[in-house]
Amino acid sequence: MAESKIAFKFGYDVEVIEDYPSKLNCIICTYVIKHATHGCENHVFCKLCVNNYAEHHNIRNEDSLICPGGCKEEIDPENLQPNLFVDLLIKTLKTKCLNDSCSWQGDLIDLVEVHRMNCNHVNVNCDNLGCQEMFSKQDVDKHAEICLYKSIQCCYCDHTIIKINKEKHEETCLPEVVVCEYHSIGCNIKFCRKETTSHQTDFQISTY
């Protein structure tokens, strides 16, 4: 019976911009090898890939673990050895940032350990609860100014509200300054919303 496909990828997901030996790609996950490890004398894999392959294989079969590289050599999961030379070659491969708008190029190790954490062109999500917007990291401050889900303080009271709820809040905010509902017939007085009832009473008395 054919062995089921193993779905995991532990290698470096990068774009290499120079010619390099295909053996630097892990046969198991197909990505550039991460933490190079000997599975046998002829093949090198990602450390996590070969460990998971061994675990997956042993769960489903009682026979010997055969190298997935096609050489038919047996792999001893208890005696996997790192390959520091291959690791060094891989870390110096010339790569580029995967973000289309970014022009960064450099060694693979600088890409994964430094640039990816600092790239201003990577897409990020808004931190404000309820906001589903995604934008470039360099536009964080620009989005923060217009985000409808950011917290703001009501200019009439001490309450902190979500910007998208501003109008709804102001409809009931007692300290809000409003105009008289009789403005159209001559009352130009402005007052706090909480004073509406007393003002209307005073206006009605003064018009009799």
Identify the pLDDT of residue 72. 79
pTM beyond 0.85: the answer is no
**Same domain, residue pair 80 and 20:** yes
Q: Which of 74, 97, 119 is the last residue of a domain?
A: 119
**Same domain, residue pair 102 and 143:** no
Identify the pLDDT of residue 204. 63
**Same domain, residue pair 9 and 94:** yes
**Same domain, residue pair 3 and 63:** yes
**Same domain, residue pair 84 and 180:** no
In this predicted model, what pLDDT tens digit does every residue of 143-169 receive, in sequence order?
A: 999 999 999 988 777 789 999 998 888
**Same domain, residue pair 105 and 138:** no
Domain count, the chain: 3
In this predicted model, what pLDDT tens digit does every residue of 11-33 receive, in sequence order?
A: 999 999 999 999 999 989 999 99
Expressed as residue numbers, the domain containing 128 is 122-173
**Same domain, residue pair 106 and 193:** no
**Same domain, residue pair 105 and 43:** yes
**Same domain, residue pair 147 and 87:** no
**Same domain, residue pair 94 and 150:** no
In this predicted model, what pLDDT tens digit does every residue of 54-73 receive, in sequence order?
A: 887 765 555 567 888 888 78
H/E/C letters for each residue in the chain?
CCCCCCCCCCCECCEECCCCCHHHECCCCCCECCCEEECCCCCEEEHHHHHHHHHHHHHHCCCCCECCCCCCCECCHHHCEECHHHHHHHHCCEEECCCCCCCCEEEHHHHHHHHHHHCCCCEEECCCCCCCCEEEHHHHHHHHHHCCCCEEECCCCCCEEEHHHHHHHHHHCCCCEEECCCHHHCCCCEEEHHHHHHHHHHHHHHCC
**Same domain, residue pair 32 and 75:** yes
In this predicted model, what pLDDT tens digit does every residue of 86-102 receive, in sequence order?
A: 999 999 999 999 988 89
Identify the pLDDT of residue 58. 62
CATH number at residue 30: 3.30.40.10
**Same domain, residue pair 20 and 82:** yes
Q: What is the mean pLDDT of the chain?
A: 83
Q: Which of 100, 119, 138 is the last residue of a domain?
A: 119
